[in-house]
Amino acid sequence: MMANAREVRCPTCKKAGDWFATPFGPFCSKRCRLVDLGKWLGEENKISEPLRPDHFKDFENLNEEDMDKPK
Ligand SMILES: [Zn+2]
């Protein structure tokens, strides 16, 4: 059994260590953090289509209707 109470596993490379003691926690290194970030961004781009002006137009209309209502 490990005596290290704060040991975590790096989500990228699964290496165990006290990664929260580093600026990259819970990742063991800057590289692993960037790899994980890139993975997430890649998956999101696959799932959702890129933002288009149409999407923002919908939001603008919603906000205008809510905020411009005179009371
Ligand atoms: Zn790592």
Cα 1 to middle of ligand 1, angstroms: 21
Cα 11 to middle of ligand 1, angstroms: 7
Cα 20 to middle of ligand 1, angstroms: 12
Cα 38 to middle of ligand 1, angstroms: 14
What is the chain's alpha carbon radius of gyration, rounded to the nearest angstrom? 21
- What local confidence, expressed as pLDDT, does residue 47 receive? 56
- DSSP state, 24? T
Looking at 1-71, which runs of residues are DSSP E strands?
8-9, 16-17
The pTM score is 0.51
Cα 35 to middle of ligand 1, angstroms: 9
Q: Which residue has the higher pLDDT, 37 or 62?
A: 37
34 pLDDT higher than 80 = yes
- For residues 18 and 36, the answer to whether their CB atoms sit within 8 Å is no
- DSSP state, 26? T
| CATH number, domain 8-67 | 3.30.50
